[in-house]
Amino acid sequence: MKNQAKSIWRFFFGDSARAFGWVSLTLLVLLAISPAKNHFSQWRHYQKQYLHLIRGRADAVTLERHFQGGIQQIWIPEQQVTDRCTTCHLGLKEASLADVSAVAFRKHPVIPHSLTEFGCTTCHRGQGPATNVEEAHNSTEQWEQPLLPAKYIEAGCGQCHLEKQTATPFLNQGRQLISAYGCTRCHTIKRGDGTYILPDDDPPSLKHIADKTTREWIYAWIKDPQAYAGTATMPNYHLRDDDARDISAFVIAQSTPLQPPIQPVQADTKAAADPGAGTSLYGQSFCASCHAMQNAAGNLVGGDVGPELTGIGTKAKPEWLQDWVANPNHYDPGTMMPHYRFDPKQVATLVGFLESKTEPDFVAKVHLDPATPQQVEHGKKLAIENGCASCHEIDGIKKPENFAPELSRIGSKPLSQVLFVEGVEHSLPGYVAAKVRNPRIFGSSLKMPQFNLTPQQIDAITTALLAQTDRAQSQPPAMRIASEQQTKYEPAGHAGQLMRDLRCLTCHMINGHGGDMAPDLTWEGTAVQREWLTQFLKNPETLRPALIRRMPKFNLSDQEINTLADYMMTVYQTPQFDRDSLPVSEFTLAAVEQGRQLFYSKFACQSCHIADFAKDKGYIGPALAGTGKRFNAAWIYHWLKDPQALQPGTIEPNQHMTDDEARSLTAFLMSLNSTGSKEAMKK
């Protein structure tokens, strides 16, 4: 053994020349490792493959001229971008490589940004400085930021784009859902520009809830809100039976009667209720613009501004319904529901109709014994623990602050801080999506309830949350496109009070505040004639035959109508031009005739508008048969010249008319004086 070792030693280092030779060789090999590693590195392999690919193509010369060997890097210090992705992804800017099958070399799909200005990792994430595939795309021990899966790619846009963009429907939807489901009532989400994502509306106050519904209904509701209405946004807390019993006991116990109190239903008005009349009054009042209800076929029909009414007769007490329909402001001054001026008979008719919409099964199996003080006390404790007061106003419980973790930087949460459970994909998007889908899989004692969301909605919310990154919070302000914030505009004075009572802003936008269901009224006073406006408020006619949502009739008094019309005609005027600057008397018959030609031939307006109910059929835009009685000529003229200048976002195309064409068309439209469009429609 010893001899053997000796002989090996002699073989290598027996004499100085030998030793020198071997040591040199070893050093040489050691020195060669690094260049060899470099030579065999992945990116060189990709560059060779790329060259092989382009040399076979017809435009090889151009492509080779664009090719630069070696490690490539996009370096944008102010955005913290050091991206070497273009070392391997060599064809990103080559239009002719749009169709190659190897994704690594394919042209980047069209986007509005330049790669050199924004880099790659800004949107796609991954490790910019890495030069091998594994480290660049996936999370490794040292670097844990993997590529963002394509389905969440709009999260990249959302870091800078805080506004609603046409090209990012899922990001928009996610943000809208976060507001609609009130996620930010518990979680704070601050955007990069310092503003906060706010909830859409206020869930009902529970201060007088016993006036509205029964303890049995509350019990069944908090056990499973979606069993009452599939559209309910209230999440499921998976409450145990006795917990639901105690919470319902507490909720009823804290409720105090409304002041002044709700009046009982009169026996004689009860008798007046007629189901047929109720259905038609519900229809005429366009309740379905905001409220959904299941029809006989089981389909849900109607809007989602207000709650679903399929089972309202089971939920609401008749006297509460009567009080609410007569004037919703009494029970809830903050409601979005307008104060229809129904007469007592109409109220009784509607209440009778709504009362007939029941879901008796919902509360049939609920039998609750009278609550004990201990149960009420325990119910209060549970209500505090579950954060009920984050959403609902409750007597005796303060709205908790920072009830749930802040999510302003959730998109950059290090994976080392995330606890995964079985069945959850080991990635940040996987974690966020799982948490939104079913929070309780992370532990049955967790407080976050389960929301009723479709897989597609979950992906949308995840996209919006993943946009909340460190980059979004810390990048230069110049990079950001600010979110559209609604103004706090409220109409003033007596008319303002009236408009508040009618909740005009639930549907109409005025000066940047309001809903998007009905036309923007900011410049209505310039657009229309006072006479038309008063007639319309008295009896709203059909302006757009194809729309289901229409302006309801509020049964306004003449005095109220005058107040509204005076205010709108005076205040809602555009500064761009004077509404009387184009008197109709100046139009000649020849101009009217020329306008008619333009209407029907050059601009083919009849494709979308009806000028003559007897022969035109287009019904995308409003019917124009009564234009001469409705609009001011100056408005029509300026609208024709540039519709988007008067109403940003309108789908009326700008036809680039000459002044003369716009004048003639205005003359023609102002000559349309048809009334009784409804009768004509019926024919």
Partner 1 sequence: MKHGLIAFCALALATSGCSHKSKQPASLAATAKGAAIVESSGGKQIGYAGMLLDQPVVVQVNDASGSAIAGAAVYFSGPSGVSFTPASGLTDSSGQVSSTVSLGQQAGRYKIVASTPHATGKNLELALDEIALGYQQTLGAQLNAQYCIRCHDSESTPLRVSNMDNLSVKPHPFTDGDTLNKISDADLVAIISHGGPALNKSAEMPPWGYTLSKSDIAALVAYIRAVADPPYEAGGLVYAQK
C-beta atoms surrounding 488 within 10 Å: 8
Select from 67, 403, 442, 619 the one that contacts partner 1 (CB under 8 A): 619
Q: Which residues, 6 or more positions from 81, have their beta carbon under 8 angstroms from its beta carbon?
A: 74, 75, 118, 119, 121, 122, 128
Stretch that binds partner 1, among 52-60, 252-260, 407-415, 586-594 (CB under 8 A): 52-60
- Residue 285 and residue 585: Cα distance in Å, rounded? 39
- Cβ 198 to partner 1, closest distance in Å? 25
Assess 456 for contact with partner 1 (CB under 8 A): yes
Which H or E run contains 293? strand 292-294
Select from 72, 80, 96, 450 the one that contacts partner 1 (CB under 8 A): 96
- Residue 429 and residue 148: Cα distance in Å, rounded? 8
The closest of 259, 311, 229, 280 to 321, measured between CA atoms, is 311
Contact 114, 106 (CB under 8 A): no
Select from 51, 76, 100, 272 the one that contacts partner 1 (CB under 8 A): 100
Sign of CA dihedral 589, 594, 598, 601: positive
- Residue 589 and residue 579: Cα distance in Å, rounded? 22
Q: Which is nearer to partner 1, 109 or 476 (CB)?
A: 109
Q: Which residues, 6 or more positions from 458, have their beta carbon under 8 angstroms from its beta carbon?
A: 433, 436, 437
Select from 59, 144, 202, 377 the one that contacts partner 1 (CB under 8 A): 59
- Cβ 151 to partner 1, closest distance in Å? 4
Q: Which is nearer to partner 1, 63 or 510 (CB)?
A: 63
- Cβ 553 to partner 1, closest distance in Å? 22
Assess 298 for contact with partner 1 (CB under 8 A): no
- Residue 472 and residue 464: Cα distance in Å, rounded? 12
Select from 301, 364, 421, 481 the one that contacts partner 1 (CB under 8 A): 301
- Cβ 363 to partner 1, closest distance in Å? 31
3-state helix, strand, coil in the chain (%, to 5): 50, 5, 45
Q: Which is nearer to partner 1, 147 or 227 (CB)?
A: 147
The closest of 52, 74, 79, 76 to 63, measured between CA atoms, is 52
Sign of CA dihedral 377, 378, 384, 388: negative
Q: Which is nearer to partner 1, 31 or 60 (CB)?
A: 60
Structure tokens at 350: 């509607």
Q: What are phi and psi of 82, to 5 degrees?
A: -135, 85
Assess 607 for contact with partner 1 (CB under 8 A): yes
- Residue 574 and residue 645: Cα distance in Å, rounded? 11
Sign of CA dihedral 148, 151, 157, 161: negative
The amino acid present at 138, given as its one-letter code, is N
Stretch that binds partner 1, among 21-29, 109-117, 357-365, 673-681 (CB under 8 A): 109-117
Q: Which is nearer to partner 1, 284 or 654 (CB)?
A: 654
Assess 656 for contact with partner 1 (CB under 8 A): yes
- Cβ 168 to partner 1, closest distance in Å? 8
- Residue 437 and residue 454: Cα distance in Å, rounded? 9
Q: Which is nearer to partner 1, 93 or 151 (CB)?
A: 151
**Which x/- pattern, by CB under 8 A, does the window 544-563 give for partner 1?**
--x-x---------------
- Cβ 230 to partner 1, closest distance in Å? 17
Find where tokens 């039976």 sit.
Answer: 241
Q: Which is nearer to partner 1, 2 or 656 (CB)?
A: 656
Alpha carbon of residue 497 to chain centroid: 30
Q: How many residues bind partner 1 (CB under 8 A)?
A: 58
**Which x/- pattern, by CB under 8 A, does the window 239-278 give for partner 1?**
----------------------------------------
For strands 292-294 and 74-76, give the pairing.
unpaired
Q: Which residues, 6 or more positions from 484, have their beta carbon under 8 angstroms from its beta carbon?
A: 163, 164
Contact 342, 555 (CB under 8 A): yes
Residues 162-191 that bind partner 1 (CB under 8 A): 166-170
- Residue 173 and residue 460: Cα distance in Å, rounded? 6
Structure tokens at 460: 């949308």
Assess 602 for contact with partner 1 (CB under 8 A): yes
Stretch that binds partner 1, among 78-86, 256-264, 485-493, 598-606 (CB under 8 A): 598-606
Helices (H) and strands (E) in the chain, counts: 35, 6
| Maximum distance among all Cα pairs of the chain, rounded to whole angstroms | 126
Alpha carbon of residue 461 to chain centroid: 10
- Cβ 94 to partner 1, closest distance in Å? 12
Stretch that binds partner 1, among 57-65, 241-249, 479-487, 506-514 (CB under 8 A): 57-65
What's the Cα-to-Cα distance from 677 to each of 309, 329, 588, 611, 625, rounded to whole Å?
Answer: 32, 35, 26, 10, 7
Residues 487-546 that bind partner 1 (CB under 8 A): 546
Stretch that binds partner 1, among 16-24, 104-112, 183-191, 268-276 (CB under 8 A): 104-112
Q: Which is nearer to partner 1, 135 or 566 (CB)?
A: 135
Select from 35, 70, 112, 333 the one that contacts partner 1 (CB under 8 A): 112
Assess 645 for contact with partner 1 (CB under 8 A): no
Enumerate the β-bridge partners of residue 514.
Answer: 509
Select from 1, 17, 33, 110 the one that contacts partner 1 (CB under 8 A): 110
Structure tokens at 275: 């189901």
- Cβ 653 to partner 1, closest distance in Å? 4
Assess 373 for contact with partner 1 (CB under 8 A): no
- Cβ 347 to partner 1, closest distance in Å? 29
Q: Which is nearer to partner 1, 366 or 608 (CB)?
A: 608
Assess 419 for contact with partner 1 (CB under 8 A): no
Q: Which is nearer to partner 1, 46 or 320 (CB)?
A: 46
- Cβ 607 to partner 1, closest distance in Å? 4
The binding site for partner 1 (CB under 8 A) comprises: 40, 42, 45, 53, 56-59, 96, 99-104, 109-112, 132-134, 137-138, 147, 149-153, 166-170, 301, 455-456, 459, 546, 548, 601-604, 607-608, 617-620, 643-644, 651, 653-656
